[in-house]
Amino acid sequence: MMDHATSVPVCVFLLLLPSSLVALDNRDFKHDFEYHHEGSGERFRVKGHGRLADIVIVDDIPQITKILCEGNVVLIATTDVTISATWRPSQVIVGGPDWGCSSEVDGRVQHGLYRKIKSVNQGKRTVEIMTENAGLYDSFETAQLHVHHTPGNWSSREERENDIKSRQKREASSDSDVGSRLWPLLLSYGDESLFTIPFNYDTSKDKEVLQFSVSSQGVEIKAGGFTAGFAPQHDAKKTWELGCTSCYAFFRAGFTMELNIGPDNTRFLLQLSGEFKFNTDVGLSWSRERNLGNKTFTLAKKELKIPSIPILYFPNPLVPTMELGIDLLAELLVQVGAKVEGKMLATAGFDYNKKLTVTFKKENNGPFTMFTGLTDEPWTGHTPTFSMQAKFSANAALVPKITLTPTISFGWKVRFVGSNLYLFSLNFGAPVAFSLNAGITFEVAYDSAQRTFCLDLYHQGDIAIEANKVTSDIVVFGETVASSNILKYKKKLSISLWPRTSFTCTALVKCCVVACVGLPKLPQLSMDQTVGAMKKKITRADVDFQSLKQMKGTDVLFVAEEKTASYCGVPSRKCKDCTRGVIGWTTDDKCADRMMTGDLLEKLEVLSKFVRITWPKRKLRVEEAWDEPTSAYQNGRHGASSVHYEGRAADLTVTSEMTADQLKNTPKDAPASDKSSTIMVRLAQLARCSDLPFVDQKSDYVEVAVKKSATSPVKRTRFDRQIKRATDIQLGYCVSISKLQLGKSNPSTGTPEFVCGEINDRITRYDPQAFLRLYQYPFNDVEFENKRRNDAWCGATSRECIDCRTKIQGESAYDRCADRMMTPRLAYRVRRLGSLVTQKWVDRKLKVIGAWDEPTSSSTNQWGSYGAQSLHYEGRAAQVSLTGSSPNSLMGDLSQLAVCAGFDYVRYTTNNYIDVFVQQESHTKGIVVPFLKANLLAVDPPPHSINYGYPENLRTELFKTLLFDGSHRSQLKLSDNFVLGEFKHPEARYLRLDDKLVACLQNIRTALGKSLKIVKGSAYRPRSENIVDIDERHPEEIDRFQSGQAAEIQMATGTSGPKEITNLGQEAMKQCASMLSVTRRGLGIGIHADRLYIDIRPNTIAEQALYIRVWDTVNSSTNASVMNDLLVTKDQLERGGPEINPVDPEAACEEPVLGKENYHINIPMSNARSDCASETSSDFCKQTQTYRETVLERIKKHFQKKTGDKVVRSSTFVSALTTCLKDACGHCLGSGPTWEKKVKSCVKMLNYHRTSGAWNNITEKMSFFNLDSPKSSVRALACKDYVCLEKTDLYGLFARILSEKYRPAKNSSVEELVYGPGDNPLPIMDLAEQTFAISASGIARVFIEKDSDVSALWKVLKILFVYNKEIADVEFHLTADVNKNKLVETIQRKSEVWAGTGCPKWSRAAITPFKMVEISKGRLKRALPEHESIPRSFQHHLHQWELDWIHKT
């Protein structure tokens, strides 16, 4: 059985047809069996004729005793070699598996002999045959085989059986041997289920077997079914759910197989054909924003087997029947995926019947080819419903999958072995997975220009075939089947859509609905309270009347002015009929209801688009706008005071449905209003969607109003200051810049879009969020051509064009002039260029031909006068020239000044003008963020997109990352080893990125000295990608991908196992934590099985300099050790002193003289003394030999008494002890081979003692003091409540060893030390103290009696501060004689030195933290001196041998 393939290319039904036929006297065959019933349509036929090849069957040759197969050589042992006399090349030689041979037949290994002879060589008792692979066609000289079956539509199974039995009886006398086998087989085909392949389908009830749902919680079978269909609903426990009320399919299949073999032509064909029925009704629900990658669930499985069909039959028992067999596995899979930006509910369904044919063919030596056919019967869509709060894209697909294993088997009898009969059978065929992917896809996108949700609903799918788990090209019979023949289909449906109110769409392409999401409630305040009260009534005679705008065109309909009134405005003025459009532009001709402020006109233009989208056969109708007195209403229709009199309010309705002719040609009288309540409710919603600040739904109209138009520009305080200073640029700055030649650009390579970034979205004046980001150039130092000022309309058919050549006309969206609109970055550089122009030519100015652009009556396309993707539509491009006569010859000079002015791309386009372009930049302020190797310019997120927004959970943090445009900048180096593309998500244009994250990763890379890689797509993730499988991630790893403060890293080469993850984590802490602490920020580390998560986060613990958070996402036993190691490092860094980071890592990490395991030991080791170069035994060593042996035996007995036989039986321990105390004897201290041997053996002995567990119970109680002080006042404190080295048996033992004496002369009373510093120095006590220090854990207590004790204890302190990773704190206990401040300063100074010289391979992450405890006089007095366990006379040489050595040398 094959694995399911979600999107598999077209493959092939593999029917591999080799053979292994036997040599016979009569090798011809011929048979023809046919059954056809006209009434039901069932047809079954098996037909074949041909001649078998001449085949050698070794099983039937008794003279053969043994066969050996080795590669292409077959060696046969025989009692008579003449049996091979007739064997010749091209024959097929066949034998059963009993000979122990295997053969490769059409790419498959068979247990048995099936080879083609190339040559035959006879020996005395053997025959050697050179062979080659044999295939299907080698078994035949000629063959034509045909098998076909078409299931019938019988009224009953009994009727079919009676017909077949009757036919069988009539034709019994003429039946061939094949027929005698096929009649019973045909009877068994009466079970319809043999050829009806079900997918959750009950054939008896013609419906589904099970109803089910799949969700974020898994698959749930609805045993009792859904009571009234699956009604999707939001469930807090389920992020998403797909319920299937009726999902099933079946395939009623027939098949045809043909095989033709001839001397000059071979042909194989297999065809599967039949009816495919499919039905699905699904419901989808998403309870929150999520991005769910396509997930596949298996819902049902069923295995089927079509009885084997004899297709070639010989009566001779030596040649059994060749049979065709097909095994089937039917599976029903469901796929679901979505990108959802909010809650969503949807239901949909469809059904269809189709005829499907799949054909596989191979001719001669050509490749396998595949043909697919799917009839185009119509789909029947079931009425869908939707409820959504944001844009989404979702798909749900039911995938019926058939896995076929077709085989052709052909075998023969072999000789008996005992009483068993072995049949060697060659089976040819391979599993083939065939699936029909039929799904429903919902795609809802937000059109920012139209401010609408547009939905595509369609069914689509493909036919996919998978063989041997190959999902691209399929290899069959050693040939490749191209994967280009995938049959795909896609059908659009007419649907009904309910986003919040009823909405019907008849278009097959897409359906759109106005984005009324999160609407404000209907007004709680009055009109005057909301938009401001009227200040004065505007009349036609007022100068303010000229500031009102007259709406043009017929997209919005207006009623005729008071038809029954005798005058309008003043008694002398007749009322006008402006139903069909503007009558004129004089004060008298202007129609009252078409008059309004620019802001209101702009909002009504947007609203009219929404009305057309919502009701394609209706138009917005204005009942009243600006109001004036008439004969019917001498004080105006709206009472004494209303903002209608200022042109800031309008009364609106919607027309009744209009004919196509009426929509195209406005009738003389405006169609009547539809004042139904549902229309009014929806119109009020659309008005609020249009950003009208006041909307009031009346019973038969909707009243709207706007605030007074802006009279001052949008405040950009920082930018306003910058652009005023733009003129400070001096012409001298430009001298070194070269002029451009015609057709050339700066930069010289790339397009404006490549250098500055492509257009993100066209900005329109009807999208205030985007439009207000643009800057209206207010200065007169530049001339604007404004060539479209005389066009019939600008921006929209309702808007007149504005003349802004000399000045701006206003700050409202309506009043702003297109050519003066540009991004602040472009405006700043335009002003700089204008200043340079006036400095170079006193009689000329810079002339702007065009900047931001919009459609006008003279536009060359629907967007404006530039190409569809021009940067002009974002205000990031301008065409500029010069004023004055004959400017053409000066364009080269102008290009030089443009480059100097700082445009990001300058092109000398023609002799008439040059083009200038800029990158995106934050519209409020230009911020450049410095990274290690490059600077990035901050940009604003695209309007209306939440995809690049800042994570909600992080918005209160003080430090926030900025957004950058990553377009065409993937290879930009941000540091020595990292480029921008490694941080940018492959599916996103923009990215957020913390410069400290880049610095952190670079520090890790540098410290490791090895290549480090960021897991692809694991750094910055836009919102849509960050929510992919977000519920499955660790809670700490939710938000910082989206803020650009996190990444997942691995080693670039080799594996990233526990060791590598530990190293990465430790280096991350060492290299990044202190760097981040400067800005009060911390580090987050997440442990994964094969990668490490790293993020930059705020330091939330005010009193803690370093802040590190570590967590384990796997929680496995393997990761437990990683977690423990990282927690230890974390604790050391957070609580400790300086990080251990050597100035010279190579020198600091040189191989220790005593080996890596003894990195902490510090002891003199040199070869400086020439008298210590040899190991010659001195007279002293000879004299003390027996004494040293006595000491050794005494020590052994001591250890045996204390620890039993375990230690003294250890050869490692005994050997080290023997060398340390006995064999290594010599006077050299700190130098020479004898000293080195002595030190190494003593260290090995002490390490064995330490690791044996002798000190396990005291490691947390260990204390230290200056053992060199014979009368130490702190000795009692250190050794009474805690465990000092003196208190251990080992110390007492070694002290007695060091006090051992001998008499050089028998008759003399003079005694000398056996291990004296002058004759045989022993470093055992110094090594024991260092070993004691490395064994400590927890809090290490150090007692200081006087200031000089610190110097005496420096080796111990270095181990406690640098090397012992188990120490949590060093606690200094000080007497009153110690200068505390001086001691703190000394320890800090030593810590800094040690931190810069220690090796991180073996040291702690940071210097151990310490604190000071002052010993009170009372405590010191109460501490009674302990019994001295060793004579004080030994104190001199126990620790002073180094001093003695220095004196001697």
Q: Using one digit for the tens of pLDDT, what is the confidence trace for 1024-1053? A: 888 887 878 899 999 999 999 999 999 988
Mean pLDDT score, 1111-1131: 86
pLDDT tens digits, residue range 751-767? Answer: 999 999 999 888 888 88
Window from 724-733, 1060-1069, 1136-1145 with minimum mean pLDDT: 1136-1145
Reduced to 3 states (helix: H, G, I; strand: E, B; else coil), residue 1227 is coil
Mean pLDDT score, 1053-1072: 88
Instruction: State residue 1318's pLDDT score.
Output: 84
What does the alpha-carbon distance between residue 55 and residue 93 come to, in Å, rounded to a whole number? 6
The confidence band for 945, taking pLDDT boundaries of 50, 70 and 90, is: confident
- Given a cut of 80, is residue 193 above it in pLDDT? no
Main-chain dihedrals φ then ψ at residue 1439, nearest 5 degrees: -130, 5
Residue with tokens 């500031």: 547
Instruction: State residue 96's pLDDT score.
Output: 78
Mean pLDDT score, 176-182: 67
Reduced to 3 states (helix: H, G, I; strand: E, B; else coil), residue 1414 is strand
Mean pLDDT score, 258-262: 84
Instruction: State residue 1361's pLDDT score.
Output: 94
- Given a cut of 60, is residue 684 above it in pLDDT? yes
Instruction: State residue 192's pLDDT score.
Output: 58
pLDDT tens digits, residue range 573-589? Answer: 888 888 778 888 898 88
Burial class, 245, CB count within 10 angstroms (exposed 0-12 / middle 13-18 / buried 19+): buried
Question: Which one-letter DSSP state was computed for residue 1321?
Answer: -
Read off the tokens for 451.
């401010």
Read off the tokens for 112.
């048995």
Instruction: State residue 434's pLDDT score.
Output: 53
- Given a cut of 90, is residue 706 above it in pLDDT? yes
Mean pLDDT score, 16-40: 63
Mean pLDDT score, 929-956: 89
Burial class, 942, CB count within 10 angstroms (exposed 0-12 / middle 13-18 / buried 19+): middle
Residue with tokens 């103290």: 1329
Q: H or E element: which one contains 1246?
A: helix 1232-1251
Reduced to 3 states (helix: H, G, I; strand: E, B; else coil), residue 65 is strand
- DSSP codes, 1005-1031: HHHHTS-EEEPTT-S---HHHHTBTGG
What does the alpha-carbon distance between residue 127 and residue 81 come to, in Å, rounded to a whole number? 6
C-beta atoms surrounding 194 within 10 Å: 17
What does the alpha-carbon distance between residue 918 and residue 147 come to, in Å, rounded to a whole number? 72
Amino acid at 1115: N
The side-by-side arrangement of strands in the sheet containing 1338-1344 is 1263-1264, 1338-1344, 1367-1374, 1410-1414
What does the alpha-carbon distance between residue 581 and residue 576 come to, in Å, rounded to a whole number? 11
What does the alpha-carbon distance between residue 803 and residue 817 come to, in Å, rounded to a whole number? 8
Q: Are 181 and 310 contacting, i.e. CB atoms less than 8 angstroms apart?
A: yes
The closest of 851, 834, 721 to 774, measured between CA atoms, is: 851
pTM: predicted TM-score of the whole model, two decimal places: 0.67
The confidence band for 391, taking pLDDT boundaries of 50, 70 and 90, is: low
Read off the tokens for 1188.
């040293």
pLDDT tens digits, residue range 396-418? Answer: 777 777 776 767 666 544 443 44
Mean pLDDT score, 887-905: 95
- DSSP codes, 707-733: PPPP-SPPP-HHHHHHHHGGGG--GGG
The confidence band for 23, taking pLDDT boundaries of 50, 70 and 90, is: very low
Residue with tokens 């059904």: 351
What does the alpha-carbon distance between residue 622 and residue 603 come to, in Å, rounded to a whole number? 13
The confidence band for 369, taking pLDDT boundaries of 50, 70 and 90, is: low
- Given a cut of 90, is residue 442 above it in pLDDT? no
- Given a cut of 50, is residue 171 above it in pLDDT? yes
Question: Which one-letter DSSP state was computed for residue 1415?
Answer: P
CA-to-CA dists, residue 746 to 750, 895, 896, 903, 972, angstroms: 9, 9, 9, 9, 19
What does the alpha-carbon distance between residue 701 and residue 622 come to, in Å, rounded to a whole number? 10
- DSSP codes, 458-483: EEEEEEEEEETTB-SSEEETTEEE-S
Contacts of 542 (CB under 8 A, 6+ apart): none
- Given a cut of 70, is residue 379 above it in pLDDT? no
Higher pLDDT, 505 or 1297: 1297
Q: Are 291 and 392 contacting, i.e. CB atoms less than 8 angstroms apart?
A: no
Q: In DSSP terms, which residues pair with 271 in a beta bridge?
A: 256, 359
- Given a cut of 70, is residue 715 above it in pLDDT? no
Instruction: State residue 562's pLDDT score.
Output: 65
Q: Are 544 and 537 contacting, i.e. CB atoms less than 8 angstroms apart?
A: no
The closest of 1054, 1044, 1126 to 1090, measured between CA atoms, is: 1054
Read off the tokens for 163.
């017909």
Instruction: State residue 926's pLDDT score.
Output: 75
Instruction: State residue 1004's pLDDT score.
Output: 93
Window from 348-362, 526-540, 662-676, 1175-1189 with minimum mean pLDDT: 348-362
Burial 1294-1329 (b: 16+ CB within 10 A, else e): bbbbbbbeeeeeeeeeeeebbbbbebbbbbbbbbbb
Instruction: State residue 440's pLDDT score.
Output: 61
What does the alpha-carbon distance between residue 653 and residue 623 come to, in Å, rounded to a whole number? 7
pLDDT above 70: percentage of residues in the chain: 81
Task: Please state, rounded to an integer, the average pLDDT across all residues of the chain.
Answer: 80
- CA dihedral angle for residue 1010, residue 1016, residue 1018, residue 1024, rounded to 10 degrees: 170
pLDDT above 90: percentage of residues in the chain: 31
Instruction: State residue 461's pLDDT score.
Output: 57
- Given a cut of 60, is residue 505 above it in pLDDT? no
Q: Which of 176-190, 611-625, 758-772, 825-839 has the highest mean pLDDT?
A: 825-839
Reduced to 3 states (helix: H, G, I; strand: E, B; else coil), residue 1348 is coil
Contacts of 1338 (CB under 8 A, 6+ apart): 1259, 1260, 1366, 1367, 1368
Amino acid at 352: Y
Torsion sign across C-alpha atoms 372, 376, 380, 381: positive
Higher pLDDT, 1193 or 378: 1193
Higher pLDDT, 911 or 219: 911
Residues composing the chain = 1449
Mean pLDDT score, 82-86: 91
CA-to-CA dists, residue 764 to 688, 707, 775, 1213, 1291, angstroms: 19, 21, 14, 87, 88
Higher pLDDT, 148 or 523: 148
Residue with tokens 């002490």: 1246
Strand blocks (E) in 1166-1277: 1263-1264
Contacts of 1215 (CB under 8 A, 6+ apart): 1241
Mean pLDDT score, 228-254: 75
Instruction: State residue 1444's pLDDT score.
Output: 41
- Given a cut of 90, is residue 501 above it in pLDDT? no
Contacts of 969 (CB under 8 A, 6+ apart): 980, 981
- Given a cut of 60, is residue 76 above it in pLDDT? yes
Main-chain dihedrals φ then ψ at residue 539, nearest 5 degrees: -115, 170
Instruction: State residue 411's pLDDT score.
Output: 59
- Given a cut of 70, is residue 443 above it in pLDDT? no
Mean pLDDT score, 1423-1449: 44
Q: 92-95 and 55-57: which strand pairing?
A: parallel
Instruction: State residue 1262's pLDDT score.
Output: 93
- Given a cut of 80, is residue 1008 above it in pLDDT? yes
The closest of 551, 659, 536, 655 to 597, measured between CA atoms, is: 551
Window from 515-529, 551-565, 1200-1214 with minimum mean pLDDT: 515-529
Find the radius of gyration of the CA atoms of the chain. 47
Reduced to 3 states (helix: H, G, I; strand: E, B; else coil), residue 566 is coil
Window from 367-376, 1127-1136, 1192-1201, 1296-1305 with minimum mean pLDDT: 367-376
Read off the tokens for 308.
């084997």
Instruction: State residue 509's pLDDT score.
Output: 31
Read off the tokens for 886.
């004959």
The confidence band for 1157, taking pLDDT boundaries of 50, 70 and 90, is: confident
pLDDT tens digits, residue range 795-810? Answer: 888 888 888 888 888 8
Read off the tokens for 420.
């068993």
Q: H or E element: which one contains 1312?
A: strand 1312-1313
Window from 70-84, 108-122, 556-570 with minimum mean pLDDT: 556-570
- Given a cut of 60, is residue 376 above it in pLDDT? no
Q: Between 677-689 and 598-614, two packed helices, what is the crossing angle to 10 degrees?
A: 130
Torsion sign across C-alpha atoms 1394, 1397, 1402, 1404: positive
Peptide bond into 747 cis (omega under 30): yes
Instruction: State residue 1099's pLDDT score.
Output: 86
Residue with tokens 């990080």: 1139
- Given a cut of 60, is residue 511 above it in pLDDT? no
Contacts of 1058 (CB under 8 A, 6+ apart): 1118, 1119, 1121, 1122
Torsion sign across C-alpha atoms 1288, 1293, 1294, 1296: positive
Read off the tokens for 1242.
């003593």
Instruction: State residue 459's pLDDT score.
Output: 56
- Given a cut of 50, is residue 477 above it in pLDDT? no
Read off the tokens for 895.
């290009």
Q: In DSSP terms, which residues pair with 243 in a beta bridge?
A: 213, 283
What does the alpha-carbon distance between residue 715 and residue 320 come to, in Å, rounded to a whole number? 95
Instruction: State residue 458's pLDDT score.
Output: 58
Q: Are 823 and 773 contacting, i.e. CB atoms less than 8 angstroms apart?
A: yes
- Given a cut of 60, is residue 504 above it in pLDDT? no
Instruction: State residue 430's pLDDT score.
Output: 47
